[in-house]
């Protein structure tokens, strides 16, 4: 079957299964085209919890499907490729987090949503790249704040607060490998372009940016900035939506290899097979889910 046939059959199966298709901005264009909801990882899960769908098909990576399960425990959550993981999420686990807590007694743990459900369950707050500064600002007291697992995000937040931020030394390999030399070469080619970067990038790269923000933030910035050219410092999948929303503007990826291989694992064939077989299912057990939900709810309350 070609893309069009597969897309039609997927839409028919979604209706038959009373299912909803959540698609992250970093997914393949042909998958973004048939999304019920297209967006950031946590925003997708929050929206899904508000629907009357019985089944959630998550075109994303494993921690995103876990978040959907945490927020929608009564729904069936399907992840078309269970091997679609996140190297950043793998850079911390419960044992290492508990060790860090012992080393910093009294510290508030703020965990990026790019983490496993188990790590969320041992955290005080969760945050996204869009609301990390807001979450930190909401925490009462003068104690230390341990931010895990993305050190680049933590250091970016630290630049906007007087609070003592302890960054975990994890990183997203895709964003972290973007360096200043690469950005400067692209800016030389497009001297009139603005540069928008994701806070998962290194501090030196963020220092060159005209705007720093999440994927949804970059989309808003692209629509509002007065430049007709924008260099985009995040995974290349977002270019699909940027071009769709801003047909008169030019978007340039900050690097030729700005691709998350895990995000690109899912294909239309995978989604079709998942809906036919109603598996693989991602289900977070209550012992983990209830504690992880508290950390997510604390974040949602201040967002």
Same domain membership, residue 208 and residue 72: no
Of the pLDDT bands very low, low, confident and very high (cuts 50, 70, 90), residue 41 is confident
What's the rounded Cα separation, in Å, for the pair 250 and 229? 5
Residue 50 is predicted with a pLDDT of 85
Asked if residue 48 has pLDDT above 90, the reply is no
Asked if residue 1 has pLDDT above 80, the reply is no
Same domain membership, residue 123 and residue 70: no
Range of the domain at 59: 3-85+263-283
Asked if residue 51 has pLDDT above 90, the reply is no
Taking the CA atoms of residue 95, residue 97, residue 98 and residue 99 in that order, the dihedral angle to the nearest 10 degrees is 90
Residue 153 is predicted with a pLDDT of 98
Contacts of residue 275, defined as CB under 8 A and 6 or more positions apart, other chains included, come to: 10, 13, 14, 17, 19, 57, 78
Average pLDDT of span 124-139: 95
Same domain membership, residue 159 and residue 298: yes
Give per-residue pLDDT as tens, 201-245: 999 999 999 999 999 999 999 999 999 999 999 999 999 999 999
Edge to edge, the sheet with strand 165-167 lists 125-127, 108-112, 145-148, 165-167
We report the CATH number of the domain holding residue 223 as 3.40.50.10800
Average pLDDT score, the chain: 96
Q: Phi then psi for 72, rounded to 5 degrees? A: -130, 65
Same domain membership, residue 191 and residue 155: no
Residue 43 is predicted with a pLDDT of 82
Residue 45 is predicted with a pLDDT of 75
What's the rounded Cα separation, in Å, for the pair 57 and 23? 9
Asked if residue 117 has pLDDT above 90, the reply is yes
CB 117 within 8 A of CB 63: yes
Residue 302 is predicted with a pLDDT of 86
Same domain membership, residue 162 and residue 147: yes
Same domain membership, residue 186 and residue 152: no
Same domain membership, residue 46 and residue 78: yes
CA dihedral over 87, 89, 92, 95, signed as positive or negative: negative
Same domain membership, residue 165 and residue 93: yes
In a domain, 258, yes or no: no
Asked if residue 119 has pLDDT above 90, the reply is yes
Of the pLDDT bands very low, low, confident and very high (cuts 50, 70, 90), residue 42 is confident
- Residue 65's CB: how many other CB atoms inside 10 A? 29
Residue 32 is predicted with a pLDDT of 98
Question: Which DSSP state fits 141?
Answer: S
Give per-residue pLDDT as tens, 138-193: 999 889 999 999 999 999 999 999 999 999 999 999 999 999 999 999 999 999 99
Instruction: Please state the pTM of the whole predicted model.
Output: 0.95
Give per-residue pLDDT as tens, 257-280: 999 999 999 999 999 999 999 999
β-bridge partners, 68: none
Asked if residue 118 has pLDDT above 80, the reply is yes
Percent residues over pLDDT 70 in the chain: 100
Residue recorded with tokens 């950031």? 40
Please count the structural domains in the chain: 3
Asked if residue 129 has pLDDT above 90, the reply is yes
Same domain membership, residue 298 and residue 151: yes
């Amino acid at each position: 079957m070609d893309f069009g046939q597969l897309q039609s059959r997927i839409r028919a199966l979604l209706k038959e299964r009373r299912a909803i298709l959540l698609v992250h901005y970093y997914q393949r264009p042909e998958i973004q085209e048939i999304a019920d909801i297209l967006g950031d990882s946590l925003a997708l899960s929050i929206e899904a919890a508000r629907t009357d769908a019985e089944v959630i098909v998550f075109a994303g990576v494993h921690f995103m499907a876990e978040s959907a399960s945490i927020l929608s425990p009564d729904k069936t959550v399907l992840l078309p490729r269970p091997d679609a993981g996140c190297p950043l999420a793998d850079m911390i686990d419960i044992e290492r987090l508990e060790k860090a807590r012992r080393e910093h007694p009294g510290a508030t743990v703020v965990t990026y949503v790019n983490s496993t459900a188990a790590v969320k369950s041992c955290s005080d707050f969760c945050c996204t790249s869009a609301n990390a500064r807001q979450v930190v600002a909401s925490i009462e007291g003068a104690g230390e704040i341990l931010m895990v697992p993305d050190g680049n995000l933590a250091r970016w937040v630290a630049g906007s607060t007087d609070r003592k931020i302890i960054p975990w030394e994890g990183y997203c390999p895709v964003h972290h490998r973007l360096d200043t030399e690469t950005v400067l070469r692209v800016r030389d080619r497009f001297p009139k372009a603005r540069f928008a970067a994701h806070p998962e990038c290194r501090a030196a790269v963020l220092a060159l940016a005209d705007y720093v923000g999440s994927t949804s933030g970059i989309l808003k910035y692209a629509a509002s900035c007065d430049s007709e050219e924008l260099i985009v410092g995040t995974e290349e999948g977002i270019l699909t939506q940027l071009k769709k929303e801003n047909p008169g503007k030019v978007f340039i990826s900050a690097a030729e290899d700005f691709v998350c291989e895990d995000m690109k694992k899912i294909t239309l064939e995978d989604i079709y097979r998942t809906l036919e077989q109603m598996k693989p299912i991602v289900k977070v057990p209550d012992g983990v889910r209830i504690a992880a939900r508290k950390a997510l709810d604390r974040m949602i309350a201040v967002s």
